[in-house]
Structure 1
């Protein structure tokens, strides 16, 4: 897969931006058979036979419905009819909402009815796994295939696993484990990993081959010096309907290793190492979608359009069709990491 080059005048519009360029490796996952000897998403791992397979014992979140008394629903409907504007609460509604929250209890996420049925409150509550749940293999990345993959302690292989349930520890979603390895050390391998329970099918990836491609991208605007940030704001305000914004032009979408993080959803957040509080490095972006703007639509090596370009090739759905970013600390010997979801 080949990403089209930047428009000829793109960098010229932002004098000084070129010095902030940083490489990233777009992974371009595409469905297909994979083996443990390859870099991939959703395939078998080169796992040592004498090493226990990771499990998750963190409580996972379970959806529950709590019936609401008919008389409380009637009072709520009556209060809603007293609104002078559709989205402005009437007198007494705040108190009714508090009453519902008390009745439903911790973990309230809303209330409503389905197909004309009774009104119920919705909540998520933590529940322990009956037994430690075996994790799912998410990705295996080899340094020889992925040029921007860090190599802490001389490692040349990264394996990423997660528990396919919702959890409230860290960002809402799966718990994650990383394994950094040296491929020459892997000889006697596990034949078949254990299989656990699945709470969210969107956390079970389809096996995908990777087509790594190194590109250059540039920082999210809030990470730029003040003068460049102001210029980006000005240019974005001038964008017409068919024009691409700064982020659309300079930041790669989809699964990638390295590069810069896009903070469009939350604005810039700190990403300190959870162990030493020092800086971390964006190592992997696990994205729901590969589909960016025209700037990032890949072509095949022969220059023809990628007719098989799928929107969500891995079947992974993160949050509300967003992305999970893994930031690692390369200073601490045990390579701690931080998760962020956008």
Structure 2
């Protein structure tokens, strides 16, 4: 066991929460040699020799810098000196912001300078791949190893691939492909997959062995029934009534305590989605508009708070895979298990 048990007093704070428990399989990726026969991150796939390797033809995003004229930079610095409050922009600054955005053009993402040098505007623009780009193997998951892996149509193997570039398709990041298979049907295998171009090194995973562990987790607070949600809100309200700033900071920490206690961090299969950054979003099937199931979480971090931390002997797993999603966030795959072709959608937190 890697995860410490849930303290009994934690559930006692929320009567009725226990019935909402759902299993999830924490994958616990750790660097190590893997083979096509294993469940793994970043290793070789059991890919049929007669099946084309997936490629990406979606334009990828390229960062460009646009010089900002010296007179415009001077006007900006003059406008900044006209502030009456340090963090409140003047009307002149707002007008200049719009002028800079128009100058930089579509894809504008801000501006800045290096070491107090000239100002540059930043933008991201789409660029087509010269040829369809072969995707990178992200993960291979066997139902025999991972009890919470769905088995649509009797499949017992999931292969996940992505294109290691930034793309503007929602969410911003790699394009993703899933392949659901039956292991018994895989005999004549591809010896060596094609290699493509890499735009972002943090989208190329290190080979990692998995150490699956099934645990129980509970819904995000906003997805709780009203009576339980009120209990969580009351915990926050009690702390918010404190008068001094220190108590208010403690209240903010309390607001995250439920998630830190009841929701598993890191790479996992199944379970509940953590909506701490955006609040819950709808995740309808892109084909039938029906419900989808959280199938896989690709996380930039493995270490969580308190009980979710690995034992000291397990080392520091946070950079085990080398994968960083967004701003050190997580990519979640929601799959429709009712449609025959298992369509899916992505969400990034």
TM range (shorter): over 0.9
How far the C-alpha of 1:236 sits from its partner, in A, is 4.4
Distance (Å, rounded) in 1 between the aligned partners of 2:205 and 2:52? 22
Distance (Å, rounded) in 1 between the aligned partners of 2:238 and 2:44? 48
Structure 2 contact 60–128 (Cα < 8 Å) conserved:
yes
- Structure with bigger helix share is 2
Tell me which residue corresponds to 1:94. 94
Tell me which residue corresponds to 1:152. 152
Distance (Å, rounded) in 2 between the aligned partners of 1:118 and 1:2? 51
Q: Does 1:262 align with 2:269?
A: no
Structure 2 contact 297–333 (Cα < 8 Å) conserved:
yes
Tell me which residue corresponds to 2:21. 21
- Which moves more between the two structures, 76-85 or 236-245? 236-245
SS in 2 for 1:92: helix
Structure 1 contact 258–282 (Cα < 8 Å) conserved:
yes
How far the C-alpha of 1:114 sits from its partner, in A, is 0.8
SS in 2 for 1:10: helix
Aligned-residue CA RMSD (Å): 1.4
Q: Deviations over 1:18-73 (max 9, x none)?
A: 11000000000001111110000000000000000000000000000001111111
Tell me which residue corresponds to 2:245. none
How far the C-alpha of 1:306 sits from its partner, in A, is 3.0
How far the C-alpha of 1:312 sits from its partner, in A, is 2.0
Tell me which residue corresponds to 2:41. 41
Query: TM-score, with normalisation over the residues of structure 2?
Result: 0.94
Q: 1:161 to 1:99 in 2, by over 3 A?
A: same
Tell me which residue corresponds to 1:290. 302
How far the C-alpha of 1:298 sits from its partner, in A, is 3.2
SS in 2 for 1:178: strand
Query: After the TM superposition, which residues 27-106 of structure 1 pair with which residues of structure 2 at under 5 Å, given as runs?
Result: 27-106=27-106
Question: Which runs of 5 or more structure 2 residues have no equivalent in the other structure?
Answer: 240-249
Structure 2 contact 25–147 (Cα < 8 Å) conserved:
yes
Tell me which residue corresponds to 2:315. 308
Tell me which residue corresponds to 2:344. 337
Q: 1:234 to 1:227 in 2, by over 3 A?
A: same
Tell me which residue corresponds to 1:319. 326
Structure 2 contact 303–310 (Cα < 8 Å) conserved:
no
Tell me which residue corresponds to 1:252. 264
What is the count of residue pairs matched by the alignment?
337
Question: Which runs of 5 or more structure 1 residues have no equivalent in the other structure?
Answer: 300-304
Distance (Å, rounded) in 1 between the aligned partners of 2:263 and 2:321? 21
Q: Deviations over 1:181-230 (max 9, x none)?
A: 00010000000111111111110001000000000000001111111001
Distance (Å, rounded) in 2 between the aligned partners of 1:277 and 1:331? 11
Q: Deviations over 1:225-247 (max 9, x none)?
A: 11100101223456758977110
